[in-house]
Amino acid sequence: MQLNIVDDYDALSRAGAALMADLIAAKPAASIILATGETPMGVYRELAALRQRAQLDASRLRIFQLDAYMGLGPDDRRSLYGWMRRSFLDPLGVPDASVVRLPGDAPDPEAVCAAYDAAAQAAGGIDLAVLGLGPNGHLGFNEPPVDAAAPTRVVALTPASVESNARYWGGPDDVPCYALTAGMSVLLAARQTLLVVSGAHKRAILYRVVAGPITPDVPASYLQQANNVTILADKAAWGE
C-alpha cells in the first residue's frame, strides 16, 4: 500500500488522472471499476481535459459500475449510473455498451449481482478499481462489518451512509435504504487500486485504514493486504 499525500484537492485530481492515464495508455481496453461520490470528480474532469487535448483515448475501456441504489432506473436523478454517465462516460467517450452495470431496477437483483461477478471473471479480472472512502470506512456500499470474501450483492445502507449521502439528494428521506454493490472479493482482487481521500472529515477514518488493524469494522482496512494499492490523500485528509 502506497500513501501519497498531496497539497490539495486539485493536486489530488491531477495525480489521480495521471495514474489512470498511465494505465489506459498501457492497456487501452482495461477493465476499470469506477466510483461516483464527490472525491473522484476532479480526477474525471482532469481525464476529460486530457481527452479534449487528444492526449487520452478512453473509448476502448470496459467500465464496471461500483454501486447502485436499489429500485432506481438509470434516468432517476439519484441514480449512480446517471452520475457516472455525466461525470465519466460521456466526457470520456465511453459507450453505454462498454459498461457492466449494476441495474438497481432489475427485477432479479441477485441474478444481476451474480452476472456482474461472472463478467469480472470473464474479463480476466479487474485491472483498476477507483474508489472513494466512506466516512465509516466503506468501499462502494460494502458497509461495516463486512467479510473480505463478500460477493457482489444487495445490501442495506447503514444510518451513517444514509446520512452522508443525504446531502446529494435533499435529505435523508430521499436516500434509498438498499443498494447493490460490487463485493469486497471483487475489489480486493483488482490488480491495482486507487483510493482517493480528501478533506479533514476523512482524517480519522483514513488513519484507521492505513495504520489500524485489518478489521471487518473498517472495510477499507482490507486494502492493507491487496495488490498494488495507491492511496492519494490531500493534506486536509492526512494532516501536515
User: Where on the chain is the footprint of ligand F6R (CB under 6 A)?
Assistant: 35-39, 66-67, 80, 132-134, 138-140
State whether residue 147 is helix, strand or coil: coil
138 annotated active-site: yes
- Catalytic residue (one of 46, 143, 165, 234): 143
Instruction: Report CA dihedral (167, 169, 172, 174) to the nearest 10 degrees.
Output: 180
Cβ distance to ligand F6R smaller for residue 53 or 199 = 199
Q: Smallest distance from the beta carbon of 54 to ligand F6R, in angstroms?
A: 29
Q: Smallest distance from the beta carbon of 83 to ligand F6R, in angstroms?
A: 8
46 annotated active-site: no
Q: Smallest distance from the beta carbon of 182 to ligand F6R, in angstroms?
A: 9
Cell numbers given for 231 = 492511496
H or E element in which residue 168 lies: helix 159-169
Cell numbers given for 94 = 465511453
- Catalytic residue (one of 46, 127, 138, 234): 138
Q: Smallest distance from the beta carbon of 203 to ligand F6R, in angstroms?
A: 13
67 annotated active-site: yes
CB within 8 A of 194, min separation 6: which ones?
16, 19, 20, 128, 129, 130, 131, 230, 232
CB 46 within 8 A of CB 14: yes
165 annotated active-site: no
Cβ distance to ligand F6R smaller for residue 52 or 201 = 201
CB 146 within 8 A of CB 78: no
Identity (one letter) of the amino acid at 20?
M
d(C-alpha 42, C-alpha 187), whole Å = 22
Cβ distance to ligand F6R smaller for residue 10 or 38 = 38
Residues forming the active site: 67, 136, 138, 143
